[in-house]
Amino acid sequence: MPQDHLAASSPLAEHARLAAFAGEWNGEEVVFPSRWTAGGPATSHVVARMDLNGFYLIQDSVQMRDGKQIFASHGIFTYDRDDRTYKLFWYDSLGYTPPSPASGGWVGKTLTLVRGSLRGNARHVYEIIDDNSYSLKIQFSPDAEGWADVLTGVYRRIH
């Protein structure tokens, strides 16, 4: 009998680790002044789920400032078993198409993912605080050496 080449493999423990970010979250954020926006406080509502047979964390976020939606993002996280790194495919309301996903890994309770483009480099640092909260720091660098904060936030699970 021929082998079914479309048969799915099973998610690995590395995929399952992303479930720490699954759920519904409210975030308190600080947006730093940048070429994209003025700085100031913001809030975000984040909804994330494990999907597609457990291989992906799909995350949607809406950011509010002064009672208005000013930013939204759609992130797809996974573990790449070929190069043994985590990947983040990031799309947002600024409309730039990333040339490639961010890539990185865990050190302890911190997941760091970095991506480059013609505009510069972005680094996302997610740290699990406990079962019901995590922090995020998004940074930018023109040369991937000197990093400047773009956003910091703490997100609490909605029960």
Distance of CA 150 to the CA centre of its chain: 14
The reported pTM is: 0.90
Yes or no: say if 55 and 11 are a contact pair by the CB < 8 Å rule: yes
Q: What domains appear along the chain, each with residue ranges and CATH number?
A: 13-157 (2.40.128.20)
- Asked whether the beta carbons of 113 and 88 are under 8 A apart, the reply is yes
pLDDT digits (tens, 9 = 90+) for 29-65: 999 997 777 889 999 999 999 999 999 999 999 999 9
Phi, psi of 119 (to 5 degrees): -80, -15
Question: Taking all residues of the chain, what is their mean pLDDT, rounded to a whole number?
Answer: 92
Please tell me what DSSP assigns to residue 9. P
CA distance 150 to 123: 10
Position with higher pLDDT, 26 vs 121: 26
